Every structure is written in structure tokens, then in C-alpha cells.
Amino acid sequence: MASTELKNIFLSASTPLEERNPKYYSTSDIIAIRDSVIALASSVIPNHRLVWGGHPSITPLINYVLQKLGLNIQERVGIYQSKFFERFYPEDNNQFKNIWQTDDLGERESSLLLMRKTMLNSCDFSAGVFIGGMEGVEEEYLLFREIHPNALVIVVESTGAAAKIIYDNYLPEEFKNERLIKDYGYMSLFQHLLIDKI
């Protein structure tokens, strides 16, 4: 039985772009990425807190879930972003109250690292969920495991892209599950593998 205590869940996800890196795009399932992010947000937000790095392909999906839930639960979501990307912030950011911005250090990689370290050290995370994505999702996985070694990790291999690479190359056997490869019923999957276990 899941605890009624408010838990922090970290989401690392993005939709790969073909022009950025074909190795991620070639295995990505865009519909699965979208469906799994919506299912995760729908599963987590009513009873726990979801934190993510404000990727412009993901924030609109989570805003969509908030609008559908019709609940004033802003304290259940948290976005971290680097001012380095300020000109690319999605309009959906305006729907969220809890947005933390880290400094633009004048260079992409160092600015991103500052944001990620600030975000992952911001609270005690019970779990990290990794969906689709590109190199940033791989980097966040490694950093999450370093900072939160005892947290539950869910890598949704069926979404392809970085999640598939992580599942195949980095993920310890204890976190592997056939459902993460073959099950596209994401609401049920997250209930069983995440909500029931935290």
C-alpha cells in the first residue's frame, strides 16, 4: 500500500529532434513519450509532487494534465530552468507558480549542469522517471543516481531514445522489468511500478 505522505518524484524527459542527434531520434516513439508523460503526471500530481527541468516539449503536456485535473495544486509541481535558455521558455511556463531559475553562466553545458545540480539537490527524491530524451536525459540519469543512490528508478524503455540507451547500458538489473519494454498501458504501469512502491 502506498504511503499517504507527499513524495517528490523527478521526471527527466524530452522529445528527440531528428536534426540534433539521429541516434536518439531513430529509436524514439513520440506517441509513447507523450502518452507516458501524461500518464505519469496524472498518476503523481494528485497525491505527490512532480519536479522536472522544464523542457519545452514536456511542460505543455504537464500543463495539459493540470488543466484536465481541474485542481489548484500548484504546490504539487516544480520546474527548474536555466536562464541560458530564457528565450526558449514555453508559454505554458506562465501557468506554473513554482519555477526556479538558475544563472546563465554564459555557456550551455556549465549552465545546464548548474541547473541540474540545483534541481537534484533541492529535495529528497523518492523516485526518478526517465522517458525518451536525448543526451540531457542520459546526463540527468547519471547525476540522479549519484545524488540519490537509494531512490527508485524507472526507465521507460518503450519510449526509445535515451531511455532505451539507459535501460540497455546503465540500468541495474534490480530496476529492469519486462513491462517497461512492452507495456504501453502507462497509467497501470506507473501505478504498479511507482505509486504502489514509494
In SS3 terms, 32-75 reads as HHHHHHHHHHHHHCCCCEEEECCCCCCHHHHHHHHHHHCCCCHH
Specify if 32 maps to a domain. Answer: yes
Specify if 110 maps to a domain. Answer: yes
Specify if 140 maps to a domain. Answer: yes
Provide the residue range defining the domain that includes 189. 8-195
pLDDT of residue 164: 98
- CA-nearest of 149, 78, 82 to 113 is 82
Domain count, the chain: 1
The average confidence (pLDDT) of the chain is 93
More confidently predicted of 6 and 110: 110
Percent pLDDT > 90 in the chain is 78
The answer to whether residue 34 scores a pLDDT higher than 60 is yes
pLDDT digits (tens, 9 = 90+) for 124-169: 999 999 999 999 999 999 999 999 999 999 999 999 999 999 999 9
Please tell me the distance from the alpha carbon of residue 66 to that of residue 164, in angstroms, as a whole number.
Answer: 28
**Least reliable range by pLDDT among 24-28, 98-102, 167-171, 175-179:** 98-102
pLDDT of residue 158: 98
Residue with cell 541540474: 116
Specify if 121 maps to a domain. Answer: yes
Please tell me the distance from the alpha carbon of residue 173 to that of residue 94, in angstroms, as a whole number.
Answer: 40
Specify if 165 maps to a domain. Answer: yes
- CA-nearest of 167, 177, 117, 158 to 138 is 167
Indicate if the alpha-carbon torsion angle 15, 65, 144, 189 is positive or negative. Answer: negative
The answer to whether residue 107 scores a pLDDT higher than 70 is yes
Residue 61 belongs to domain with CATH number: 3.40.50.450
The answer to whether residue 73 scores a pLDDT higher than 60 is yes
The band of 97, judged by pLDDT with boundaries at 50, 70 and 90, is: confident
State the helix-helix crossing angle for 108-120 and 135-147, rounded to 10 degrees.
40
pLDDT of residue 7: 96
The answer to whether residue 189 scores a pLDDT higher than 60 is yes
pLDDT of residue 88: 84
Specify if 175 maps to a domain. Answer: yes
Please tell me the distance from the alpha carbon of residue 131 to that of residue 24, in angstroms, as a whole number.
Answer: 12
**The whole model's pTM is what?**
0.94
17-43 in b/e form (b: 16+ CB < 10 A) is eeeeeeebbebbbeebbbbbbbbbbbb
Please tell me the distance from the alpha carbon of residue 190 to that of residue 196, in angstroms, as a whole number.
Answer: 8
pLDDT of residue 20: 85
Specify if 1 maps to a domain. Answer: no
The answer to whether residue 1 scores a pLDDT higher than 50 is no
Interacting residues of 113 by C-beta distance below 8 A, sequence separation 6+: none
